[in-house]
Structure 1
Amino acid sequence: MKRLSSSKRVVVNNVVKGEIEWEVRPGGMLVQRRNMGDASSAPLIKIKVSHSSYHHDIALPAQSTFGDLKRVLAQETGLEPKEQRLLFQGKEKDDEECLHMVGVKDMSKVVLLEDPASKERKLEEMNRNQTVLKACEEVAKVKSEVDKLSEKVTALEAIVGAGTKVTENEFLVLTELLMVQLLQLDSIEADGEAKVQKRVEVRRVQGLVDALDKLKARNSNPFVTSCNAVAVSSKWEAFESGVPSSTRITQEWEVFD
């Protein structure tokens, strides 16, 4: 709406009652500018809004704008006003247009459509969330397997700590099983929360492999100190910024041959 800058003072019995502000309504009609008080005191009309398979009965002052209607519909539908498109008699209406000026009456029908760009953004976000959820489920499966292997490493620590000799094959098998889980983590494409969980499991597997390497050295020579053990912790530096490719993991595996 265009608001005129001019105004007129109304004088009744030599008393100034105030200024009249004017505005141009759609169609070129010059009328007194309405204010919120006028709108709130105007009679209510009920509008039937169709939104996909849903229907909403909205009651608001007849002098409200389509922008006002959008704000009410935002509470009903969860769609922000900028995400809404309102059609009346087959034509999209601007936020500034008044309901009664374009012919909206009691029990009139208005169609609500979601803005295509907004709908596409929500679809993309939903797809991203589904991808993250799938990745989290895959990481959770690996975590379950690593939990079982961790229990076996703990059991080996207790045996070696008690001075019992363990065959070297026990260490090799556990190490290989852990590396298989590391390869599985490497194959998971992860973002967001899934990426964080993935990194946690990678570091946990690294720690278990390091622990096995030290146990293996201690099992071979009970008198060896931790500083003499052949550790592979430095080999894991490549993982700090993410899981390496399968080829790199295979190369790191050579340290156990």
Structure 2
Amino acid sequence: MLGVKSRNLGTVVAAKGGATTSGGGGREAGMTAWELRPCGMLVQKRNSDVNQNQTVVPTIKVKVKYGSSYHEVNIKSQATFGELKKMLAGPTGLNPLDQKLVYKDKERDSKSYLDVAGVKDGSRMVLFIDIMSQEKRLVEDLRSAKMDKPKLPLMEITSEIDKLAKQVSCLEREIYGGKKVEEKLLLNLIELLMSQLIKLDGIVADGDVKLQRRMQVKRVQRYIENLDTLKIQNSKIGRNGKISFEQKLVSSIEKQRDSMKWPIVVTTEWEKF
């Protein structure tokens, strides 16, 4: 069936000058090749060589003068001056943000392309230090370092508080579970938390670090209050894990004393002026 269709094909329009060829004739020079798809549709023949029409970007060598030194750099001709600055950062030791490239007596923007500016193989350019940009960047780095400086000790203190918090939680489970613990453990834990409070007070910070420090202070204060409550509860527990007879007696007397208190009733009306 396909053979019949291919023999009955009419004239085919060529790519150039509208030239035609019959189904049985040979192709003329410069004419576009055609192929028959399985569905019977006649289409332009696909190029098997995918890379044939791709343009190869040439690599050029540019010579850059920095001070008394010269640096030769191999780079794509369609690269930007910013990419060239990154490649010069290694041999020159300059941050790309602190570099100023001058080509043909004109400073070039980092986003500009080499080929658009006319840079070719063997072109020369000069590299200078952008003093204003360097000073601005250094000031920003110092400001950032100043803001980040309190973060490290705060992180260390927070990590220590986390460890102490686990110990407080363990003591809570034991004491409220009826187990008596040594009071020395409670006192030592309170001292350790107090030392963390002193460290937190020594941190001077602003912004988010100041807020985090304040949160940790409240957290430590809450743990100390919990330990004070645990001390009272722990003192009520006997050696056998139960509330001692003396504590029960004191608690009973306090309840009786509260029940014997008579309410105060005001029976005299005072004259108001």
Sort the TM-score into its range (normalised by shorter chain).
0.3 to 0.5
Richer in strand (by share): 1
Richer in helix (by share): 1
Task: Give TM-score, length-normalised by structure 2.
Answer: 0.45
Task: Give TM-score, length-normalised by structure 1.
Answer: 0.47
- Give the greater-gyration-radius structure (CA): 2
